Amino acid sequence: KAGVTQTPRYLIKTRGQQVTLSCSPISGHRSVSWYQQTPGQGLQFLFEYFSETQRNKGNFPGRFSGRQFSNSRSEMNVSTLELGDSALYLCASSPAGEVGNTIYFGEGSWLTVV
Amino acid sequence: AQSVTQLDSQVPVFEEAPVELRCNYSSSVSVYLFWYVQYPNQGLQLLLKYLSGSTLVKGINGFEAEFNKSQTSFHLRKPSVHISDTAEYFCAVSDQGGATNKLIFGTGTLLAVQP
Q: How far apart are CA A62 and CA B43, in angstroms?
A: 25
> Which residue, A43, A59, A4, is CA-closest to B89?
A43
Q: Do B100 and A101 touch (CB under 8 A)?
A: no
Q: Which residues of A touch B104 (CB under 8 A)?
A: 45
DSSP assignment of B4-61, as one string? Answer: EE-S-SEEEEETT--EEE--EEE-SS-EEEEEEEE-TTS-EEEEEEE-SS-SEEE-GG
**Residue range B33-88, pLDDT digits in tens:** 999 999 988 899 999 999 888 899 999 999 999 999 999 999 999 999 999 999 99
**% of residues, chain B, pLDDT over 90:** 78
Q: In this predicted structure, what is the pLDDT of residue A1?
A: 66
Q: Which residues of B touch A (CB under 8 A)?
A: 32, 36, 41-46, 49, 51, 90, 92, 94-108
Q: Do B99 and A104 touch (CB under 8 A)?
A: no
- Residue B82, sorted as left (phi over 0), alpha (psi -120 to 50) or beta, turns out to be beta
Q: How far is CA B12 from CA A92, B83, B105, in A?
A: 30, 11, 22
Q: In this predicted structure, what is the pLDDT of residue B30?
A: 84
Q: In this predicted structure, what is the pLDDT of residue B102?
A: 87
Q: In this predicted structure, what is the pLDDT of residue B2?
A: 86
Q: Do A106 and B41 touch (CB under 8 A)?
A: no
More confident residue, A85 or A95: A85
- φ, ψ dihedrals at B83, nearest 5°: -55, -40
Q: In this predicted structure, what is the pLDDT of residue B31?
A: 86
**Residue range B11-44, pLDDT digits in tens:** 999 999 999 999 999 988 888 999 999 998 889 9
Which class for A39: exposed (0-12), middle (13-18), buried (19 or more C-beta within 10 A)?
A: exposed
pLDDT at B99 over 70: no
Q: Do B101 and A33 touch (CB under 8 A)?
A: yes
pLDDT at A75 over 90: yes
Q: How far apart are CA B6 and CA B25, in angstroms?
A: 9
Q: Which residues of A touch B103 (CB under 8 A)?
A: 33, 35, 43, 45, 103
Q: In this predicted structure, what is the pLDDT of residue A98?
A: 67
Q: Do A45 and B41 touch (CB under 8 A)?
A: no
Band of the pLDDT at A86, cuts 50, 70, 90? very high
| A105 Cβ contact list (under 8 Å, min separation 6) | A4, A90, A91, A92, B36, B43, B44, B45
Gyration radius of chain A's alpha carbons: 13
The CA-based angle B27-B28-B32, given to 5 degrees, is 50
Q: Do B101 and A107 touch (CB under 8 A)?
A: no
Longest distance between any two alpha carbons in chain B, whole Å = 45
Q: In this predicted structure, what is the pLDDT of residue B53?
A: 87
Q: In this predicted structure, what is the pLDDT of residue B28?
A: 84
- The answer, yes or no, to whether the previous bond of A61 is cis (omega within 30 of 0) is no
Lowest mean pLDDT among A76-80, A99-103, B83-87: A99-103
Q: Which residues of B touch A31 (CB under 8 A)?
A: 101
Of B32, B43, B97, the CB nearest to A107: B43
Q: In this predicted structure, what is the pLDDT of residue B1?
A: 79
